[in-house]
Amino acid sequence: MKRTSFFLVWILLFSLNSQAAEPEFYKLKINSNAWTFTNRDSFLEGKVTKKILAQLDSIYKKTPSTYDFFYKKSTEEVKVFMHCSFDFYAIIDGQLIKEYQFANRGYTCGSQLFERNNTFHILGGGGLWNTHSDLMKFDSLEGSWEFIQAKNQPLDYFPTGAYQTKKGIVNLFGEYTNPRIPRLEKESNGYFLDLEKKSWQPIKIDIKEFNLAEIVHTNESRLYESQDYGFSVTNSKLPGLGWILWILFEKETGKLFFYEGNKNAEIFDSPFIEIIGNKIRYFDYNEGSAIDGKEVLIDLDLIRSKTRAIGQLQVLESPKENEGQNISSILVWLGLPLLLFFTGWIGIQIQKRKTVNTQPPLEVNVEGEQEVEEESEDLLGKLLAYDGEKLSTEVFDTLLGIHQITNFDSKRIKRSRLFKEINGIYLEKKGFPLITRIKNPEDKRFVFYKITF
């Protein structure tokens, strides 16, 4: 009996350890249709097949670019983002389903695709003229990318590479590009985008042995993200450092590690880069061949075990925040009495103006409110006939009176505004929204509008 219990406990512990070791990070980048030379039937454990890749190659034959795949094992979601456009797809039951509903290009070359709180985002990119660090999230209901404002965003900035931590996105080195000004500057450290605070903060990369920023800016350098590391590969051309630099950025601690074993930069030319957990697979061409080669595996956990610590990445406070704190201190100790005096005087002047101008605006506001209420009552009367029904977008647009608008984006914006206004008024009166968006179960790119009185 004791042996049986021991055996069961051992199996349980083994099972738990196996589950804990299962990777949570799955990404794939296809850089060209040369992936066909690899003899791979699929990628990301069979989730991305040759059929899907051939279909994408056919769609983007005239405008080839990088395909960025993301697989989330816990939900079995597979997404693909097309660089240098906004096109965003889901792979469902082996079928490619386009979720982005518009036809825009540019602006997103080199964007960082990531998922947070079950929502997909892209960060930064390059367009025809300048680079940027805009943050956008995908609105699955509208089928569009929506801009998210973040404080202290650096203008015209684009990093050499980026990786995601639990709190935000670390952006390393990079440059500022805008030929209109003109502007072309190098960034010697980088920035941290705090996704909780929606705020950008400068970072400092502290390495005593050598100037990594100078090496990165004067030589070809790439950053690859895995589950636990940012993996920097740089052609240093410095014999003392080994010609090629491999540096690991430990994502959650910010510690930097230097690898001194055998290394190369063959990954730069690979037609694909597949990253599962902390293992990177790529294709290395045979010398002198543009077709033949072999698949290579880099195990970053093994590399990490053979490295030495060389520095630390630190997140600094924003200069604007420091400046604001300094000004506040000066005002408290030197100018508080004067500030109170002027505040009181300004308050008196504002109050006088309000007293003089109070009556006319009230009449205008009352008239405006009456017009809004009359318009809303008219729409409510039309919608009453469809109580309990699910309306298609076309029927809903006709009821709203916007079906004759020919521009798709203008119609979408108008529909969204009226949707919010009607629901806001009805929620205030009845305590619940009148209109509810429901995804079409047969095609999740589209929605129904359910009317509930």
Mean of the per-residue pLDDT values for the chain?
Answer: 84
Q: Is the pLDDT of residue 326 over 60?
A: no
Among 30-44, 84-98, 365-379, 428-442, the minimum mean pLDDT is found in 365-379
> Cis ω on the peptide bond leading into residue 159 (within 30° of 0)?
no
Q: What is the pTM of this model?
A: 0.69
β-sheet bridge partners, residue 29: 68, 273
pLDDT on residue 367: 46
Q: Nearest to residue 38, comparing CAs of 266, 285, 297, 299?
A: 285
Q: Is the pLDDT of residue 370 over 80?
A: no
Cα 40 from chain centre: 29
Radius of gyration from C-alpha coordinates of the chain: 28
Q: What is the mean pLDDT of residues 209-230?
A: 96
List, in order, residues 6 or more apart from 47 with CB less than 8 Å away.
Answer: 26, 69, 71, 78, 91
Q: What is the pLDDT of residues 271-287, one digit of tens each?
A: 999 999 999 999 999 98
Q: What percentage of the chain carries pLDDT values higher than 70?
A: 80
β-sheet bridge partners, residue 81: 68, 88
| In the chain, domain spans | 22-316, 362-451
Q: What is the pLDDT of residues 380-434, one digit of tens each?
A: 777 777 888 888 888 888 888 887 787 666 777 778 778 777 877 777 777 678 8
Please state which CATH class domain 22-316 belongs to. mainly beta
